[in-house]
Amino acid sequence: MKLLKKLTNYLIYGNIFIALCAFSITLATISLFHKNVFEKLYFHLAGFVGFATLFSYSIHRIKDLKSKSDNAYAEVIYWSKKNTFFIYLLTVVSILGMFFILFLPHNYFKGNERFYLIELILNRKILYLLPLSGIITLLYSIPIKIRQIEVNIRKFQFAKIFLIAIVWSFATSILAASFRITIPGEFYLVFIERFLFIFAITIPFDIRDAEFDKKEGIKTYATQFGTQTSLNIASFLLLLLIGLSAVQHNFYVSLFYCLLIPVVLKAKKPQHEYYYLAILDGTIIIYSFLLIFF
Question: Tell me: the pLDDT tens digits for 147-181?
Answer: 665 556 666 667 788 888 988 988 888 766 665 54
Residue 60 — very low, low, confident or very high, per pLDDT cuts 50/70/90? confident
Task: Render pLDDT for 96-114 as a digit per residue (tens, 0 to 9).
Answer: 998 888 877 765 444 444 5
* CA-CA-CA-CA torsion sign (34, 40, 45, 49): positive
Q: How many CA atoms lie within 13 A of 265 on its CB side?
A: 10
Tell me which of 30 and 185 has the higher pLDDT: 30
- Give, in order, the Cα–Cα distances in Å from 162 to each of 88, 134, 208, 261: 28, 15, 16, 20
Give phi and psi for 181, each to the nearest 5. Answer: -65, -40
Structurally, the chain folds into a number of domains equal to 1
Cα 30 from Cα 46, distance rounded (Å): 8
The 3-class secondary structure across 32-69, one letter per residue, is HHCCCCCCHHHHHHHHHHHHHHHHHHHHHHHHHHHCCC
* Cβ atoms < 10 Å from Cβ of 84: 12
Confidence at residue 109, expressed as pLDDT on a 0 to 100 scale? 47
Binning pLDDT at 50, 70 and 90, where does residue 274 land?
very high
Q: What is the pLDDT of residue 97?
A: 94
Count of C-beta atoms within a 10 Å radius of residue 23: 24
Size of the chain, expressed as the number of residues it contains: 294
Are 231 and 203 contacting, i.e. CB atoms less than 8 angstroms apart? Answer: yes
**Cβ contact 284:29 at 8 Å:** no
Average pLDDT for 255-279: 96
Higher pLDDT pick, 66 / 287: 287
Domain that holds residue 124: 2-293
- Residues 49 and 253: their CA atoms lie apart, in Å, by 23
CA 152 – CA 140 distance, rounded (Å): 7
Q: How confident is the model at residue 228 (pLDDT cuts 50, 70, 90)?
A: very high
Q: Nearest CA to 103 among 120, 78, 82?
A: 120
Is pLDDT above 90 for 232?
Answer: yes
| pLDDT band with cut points at 50, 70 and 90 for residue 205 | very high
- Cβ proximity of 25 and 104 under 8 Å: no
